[in-house]
Chain A
Amino acid sequence: AQRVTQPEKLLSVFKGAPVELKCNYSYSGSPELFWYVQYSRQRLQLLLRHISRESIKGFTADLNKGETSFHLKKPFAQEEDSAMYYCALMAGRRALTFGSGTRLQVQP
């Protein structure tokens, strides 16, 4: 069975500081990894997916199969980045398996 681990419940940084939200996964096959974000009082929305290799709102994430990680990074955090971030894995045709989430607080 697949599993997603986000070791940090809360990450607090100052505006302009670099951010790294950790995500590790376990799955025997080739997973597809995602980062979802939930801003205050809003629904869950897709931030980025590993196959797209894109940068969204300054965030990037690289899939490291050797370390089974998919950490989310941003070089300079902004206050509007404050939100709940969920790492998720999709195996085959099944639904998403979510990590427990990390709350990012960006202080002015």
Chain B
Amino acid sequence: GAVVSQHPSRVICKSGTSVKIECRSLDFQATTMFWYRQFPKKSLMLMATSNEGSKATYEQGVEKDKFLINHASLTLSTLTVTSAHPEDSSFYICSARPHGGGLQTQYFGPGTRLLVL
């Protein structure tokens, strides 16, 4: 089946630094990737929709200058948390919709746990 990977799986960084998280579709092309954030014991909250070759669409309340998204190819989207602060600590999950696949089809990555000290 379709596999989505995320790298790194976990990262610890100092406050003020930037962290880049990669989301890759390993065996399919994805024109659309989604970035979610999950707080402990909470649901997944959509942050942004990333479309290959165009600007990401951010959800209300998500700072686009803080959470930079780049979808440069059909198999890779990156989320960069700029000037990270402790409140950015969370579990970040991406999902990918296969090119030519149904709108209902999404495959999820394993997530990246970010801890900002």
Give the complex CA separation of A34 and B42 in angstroms: 18
Tell me which residues across on chain A come within 8 A of B108, comparing CB atoms. 43-45
A42-92 residues at the B interface, CB under 8 angstroms: 42-46, 49, 51, 86, 90
Contact call B110/A34, Cβ cutoff below 8 A: no
Tell me which residues across on chain A come within 8 A of B44, comparing CB atoms. 44, 86, 96, 98
Question: 19 more A-B contacts (CB under 8 A) besides A34-B104, A43-B93?
Answer: A32-B104, A44-B44, A46-B106, A49-B104, A51-B104, A90-B103, A93-B103, A94-B49, A95-B46, A95-B106, A96-B34, A96-B46, A96-B95, A96-B106, A98-B45, A99-B43, A100-B42, A100-B43, A101-B43
B contacts, CB < 8 Å to A: 4, 34, 41-46, 49, 93, 95, 103-104, 106, 108-111
